[in-house]
């Protein structure tokens, strides 16, 4: 890939470090009291979320000190609890060296500094799908580089997603894309990279839907109406995290729907930036539920969009039409 060679090298290195951190936390803390916590919005967060964000922040800021980074987590919880702080310091220190005083908290909080969404910045979800991570299901580490309101580079590490639908095991893969240079995939533990390309057309009746495990995250009953409308009989593939974008890019699934339960709910950019670019560069399409492109120029939130529809490409217009019919009575 010719564009952003250093950025890609650093992004891949940072995400691999974060994956090692996530594995260490699972090995060391599963079943230990104080391993996971509840944030103010009642969503879960773990020691691994903080440690993953810290190691990625450290790698990016060391290479690109002028870049802003927008991350999901803040250090409020670990500033209040020295026990949690010490655990995160211990895990991060094995990848990045010792952190003295409160430098680790300051590093994590770099993700909450003001930024200009039309300038260059990175957006990061250190563990997307924390419930899946806790339950031993799918999760992802998602990192994207933004410039002028567009996703230029995306990296999506999916420890539970294999490179092809026929592969088995627990190796997982890393997908990455650069705008106008395509999408590629590699095994998490290294090796050669391969191009990822979706067919421009698949028979709609043979398509498979990918949706969130949690019904609170998207409206499963509306999804079911859409499948019936489209004549799709295959049961939905339910997965946590942006791994759903990876599944569509790789051909494990063909449609990803995220229809919010509340009309005023808006998605966060770190939940969709990397996955959006990976699907588009693989030949697929991504829009909101009205068919509008996702607008990443508004800040942390996709203010101009409602929900998400991602497809293999050739069926996108038909899926959007079915979505509109399904939500019209609402």
* CA distance linking residue 21 with residue 16, whole number of Å: 9
Domain ranges of the chain: 5-196, 204-327
* 167 against 131, higher pLDDT: 131
* CA distance linking residue 65 with residue 58, whole number of Å: 10
pLDDT in tens, 168-205: 445 799 999 999 999 999 999 878 999 999 876 789 99
The CATH architecture of the domain made up of 204-327 is 3-Layer(aba) Sandwich (3.40)
Query: Considering the chain, what percentage of its residues have pLDDT values greater than 70?
Result: 93
Are residues 165 and 185 in contact, defined by beta-carbon separation less than 8 angstroms? no
pLDDT in tens, 238-282: 999 999 999 999 999 999 999 988 888 999 999 999 999 999 999
Our answer to whether residue 130 is catalytic in this structure is yes
Q: What is the dihedral of CA 270, 255, 307, 282, to 10 degrees?
A: 40
Measured between its terminal Cα atoms, the distance across the chain in Å is 45
| Residue of 87, 109, 125, 130 marked active site | 130
Confidence tier at 114 by pLDDT (50, 70, 90): very high
CATH fold of 5-196 reads Fructose-1,6-Bisphosphatase; Chain A, domain 1 (3.30.540)
Cα 243 to Cα 29, 119, 206, 292: the distances in Å are 24, 27, 21, 22
| Residue of 46, 49, 123, 128 marked active site | 49
**Residue appearing with tokens 């079943």:** 31
Our answer to whether residue 164 is catalytic in this structure is no
Question: What is the predicted pLDDT for the residue at 219?
Answer: 87
Mean predicted lDDT score pLDDT of the chain: 91
For the segment 292-314, the average pLDDT, to the nearest whole number, is: 95
* CA distance linking residue 161 with residue 173, whole number of Å: 6
């Amino acid at each position: 890939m010719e564009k952003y060679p250093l950025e890609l090298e650093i992004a891949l290195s940072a995400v691999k470090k974060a994956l090692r951190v996530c594995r260490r936390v699972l090995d060391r803390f599963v079943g230990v009291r104080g391993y996971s916590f509840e944030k103010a919005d009642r969503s879960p967060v773990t020691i691994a979320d903080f440690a993953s964000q810290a190691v990625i922040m450290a790698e990016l800021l060391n290479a690109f000190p002028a870049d802003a980074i927008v991350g999901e987590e803040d250090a409020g919880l670990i500033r209040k609890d020295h026990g949690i702080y010490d655990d995160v310091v211990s895990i991060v220190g094995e990848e990045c060296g010792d952190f003295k005083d409160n430098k680790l908290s300051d590093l994590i909080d770099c993700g909450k500094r003001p930024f200009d969404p039309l300038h260059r910045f990175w957006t990061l979800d250190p563990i997307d799908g924390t419930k899946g991570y806790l339950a031993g299901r799918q999760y992802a580490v998602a990192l994207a580089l933004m410039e002028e309101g567009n996703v230029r580079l995306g990296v999506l590490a999916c420890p539970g997603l294999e490179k092809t639908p026929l592969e088995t095991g627990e190796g997982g893969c890393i997908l990455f894309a650069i705008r106008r240079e395509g999408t590629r995939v590699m095994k998490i533990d290294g090796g050669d990279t391969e191009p990822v390309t979706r067919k421009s057309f698949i028979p709609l009746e043979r398509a498979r839907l990918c949706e969130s495990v949690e019904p609170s995250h998207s409206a499963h009953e509306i999804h079911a109406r859409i499948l019936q409308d489209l004549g799709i009989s295959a049961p939905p593939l339910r997965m946590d995290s942006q791994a759903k974008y990876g599944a569509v890019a790789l051909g494990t699934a063909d449609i990803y729907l995220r229809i919010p339960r509340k009309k005023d709910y808006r998605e966060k950019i770190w939940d969709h930036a990397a996955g959006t670019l990976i699907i588009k560069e693989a030949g697929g399409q991504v829009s909101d539920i009205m068919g509008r492109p996702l607008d990443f120029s508004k800040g942390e939130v996709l203010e101009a969009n409602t929900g998400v529809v991602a497809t293999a490409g050739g069926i996108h217009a038909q899926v959007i039409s079915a979505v509109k019919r399904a939500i019209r009575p609402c």
